[in-house]
Amino acid sequence: MYTLYYKAGACSLAVHVLLRELDLAFELEPSKDASGDISPKLARIHPRGSVPVLQDSGFVLKEGGAILSWLCDEYDSPLLPRAGESRATALQWLMFANATLHPAYGQVFMIDAQAIDQSSKNALLNVISAKIQRLWDEVETQLEQGDYICGEAMSVADILLSVIANWAPMMPIEISYGPRCKAMFKRVSARPAYQAALEAESIEYQAAA
């Protein structure tokens, strides 16, 4: 049985959704204790305490992109093609979400937390906000090829993109999604596995509206 260390609505939600898509047995373990510190159980396996972390007895896997691709491979899921160009393209978009888009949001949180004057903060936030908007515009253009980021078949990248999209209400910046993005978020988030994960984490899905 897997243990998923998670934070409600964070990038760990993508792994949570996938565990349910694959119909695997798992338990959820919050990353923080009641006082907001990294839980002692997580600190033992991941001193930085970031999520997701997936544990199966002695096997501990960190980094969302690695966890998502490993689970798809291990359980032969069509959410990540086995080989060839279709696999490379799905991995490309998974890495886009995990290694390009996600860190851009991290910069927003980092800038917002700085003790600097508001006008300097706004200037920095405007720069990063424009970058994030360009990334979503890239997704919108790609979705001209089909209902999902890799075309007509949903992939694990769509799950992570839709999770990140739902962070917009927490952001001190404006992000707007085009109609193709919203339609993809709606399709993906409506799946029973996704709905069950949202309910378990008490998260409302807002990015498709």
Ligand X SMILES: N[C@@H](CCC(=O)N[C@@H](CS)C(=O)NCC(=O)O)C(=O)O
User: Contact positions toward ligand X, by CB under 6 A?
Assistant: 7, 10-11, 50-52, 63-65, 98
Closer by beta carbon to ligand X, 11 or else 156: 11
Closer by beta carbon to ligand X, 10 or else 184: 10
- Report the nearest approach of ligand X to the CB of residue 30 (Å): 11
Q: Which amino acid is at 58?
A: G
- Report the nearest approach of ligand X to the CB of residue 63 (Å): 4
- Report the nearest approach of ligand X to the CB of residue 190 (Å): 23
Strand partners, 3: 27, 55
- Report the nearest approach of ligand X to the CB of residue 157 (Å): 13
CA dihedral over 197, 86, 55, 163, signed as positive or negative: negative
How many angstroms separate the CA atoms of 160 and 100, rounded?
Answer: 12
With tokens 């096997």, the residue in question is 59
Closer by beta carbon to ligand X, 62 or else 180: 62
Instruction: Tally the residues of the chain.
Output: 209
- Tell how far CA 191 is from the center of its chain: 16
Closer by beta carbon to ligand X, 22 or else 61: 61
